[in-house]
Amino acid sequence: MTDLGKSLRMRRLSAVGDGRYLFVPLDHSVSDGPVVPQARWNGLLTALVDGGADAVVVHKGRARTIAPGILRHCALVVHLSAGTVYAADTDAKVLVGEVEEAVRLGADAVSVHVNLGSDTEHRQLADLGTVAASCDTWNMPLLAMIYPRGPRIADPHDPALLAHAVNIAADLGADLVKTSVALPLNRMAEVVDSSPLPVLAAGGPPDGTDLISHGTSLMLAGCRGLAVGRRIFSSPSPASLVTRLAAVVHATDAANATDATDATAADAANTGTAHHPSTIATGAV
């Protein structure tokens, strides 16, 4: 079977076509509860698309509620893993969907969550391998969301540990990998240099500081994209925040990334949207 289908889908995952990615995960409705009230759902999606998000990440049932016209310039990633904050083991994840379902929904990719160091790591790794094989059958891109997270992890921001994580994603058949950030941020370059896959940095700054500067530092460290959920959908102005992040992600070089940061910081100062404590990320990203 030709891999044309996968190539077309991979191209749609980067709306600009530069192989860089701004993904907005919205799968928190399973893990933590509603992202926004239902009456605001379509408005949030429209804001993300208008702002320049390359893709949104949702579960299969939620994908069925999205009007086709809303994702006119934005890819759809269907998340296949689930777990809730009420579980006896909050690091456990189970598969709740199949690649075939994502194909029927018109998805451009699927994603699977793995927590390294968790008590159920072995099951999650097996699930990632199984989904990767199915993705090969259907020419579906696979995003591995893989984090050092569990009772055996002393430092989830250790660059060596993160390098191990992204290479597991590559070895088990993923096409893209999303993982936690190394600290200090400049050591994310070590993680990126170790990876045969494009690396997307997950979430906002752990201390809740400026998201734009944080994203710029990660892109300058070599990341191929950002995956930011809670900091965006809890923002009073999601479209504006996505626009500023997209300018950072899709800057063509380091100088442009810095220019984008300076410009968006000035815009934030002029509009009063520089930083909102309510958008500090906690938990899922």
Residue 60 is among the residues annotated as catalytic for this protein: no
- Write down the catalytic residue from 21, 93, 108, 147: 147
What are 58's strand-pairing partners?
A: 78
Q: How far is CA 20 from CA 51, 70, 115, 223, 281, in A?
A: 16, 22, 25, 9, 23
Residue 147 is among the residues annotated as catalytic for this protein: yes
Burial class (CB in 10 A: 0-12, 13-18, 19+), 173: middle
Contact present, 195 and 177 (Cβ < 8 Å): yes
- Write down the catalytic residue from 6, 60, 93, 178: 178
Amino acid residing at 102:
A
Number of neighbouring beta carbons within 10 Å of residue 100 = 12
List of residues 6+ apart from 239 with CB closer than 8 A: 47, 48, 50, 51
Contact present, 170 and 195 (Cβ < 8 Å): yes
Q: Which tokens hold the place of 90? A: 């909050």
Amino acid residing at 39:
A
- Write down the catalytic residue from 27, 108, 127, 175: 27
Q: For 110, phi and psi rounded to 5 degrees? A: -125, 160
Three-class SS of residue 111?
A: strand
Give the strand pairing for 142-148 and 176-179.
Answer: parallel
Contact present, 149 and 90 (Cβ < 8 Å): no
Contact present, 198 and 19 (Cβ < 8 Å): yes
First CA to last CA distance, the chain:
35
Q: Which residues belong to the active site?
A: 27, 147, 178
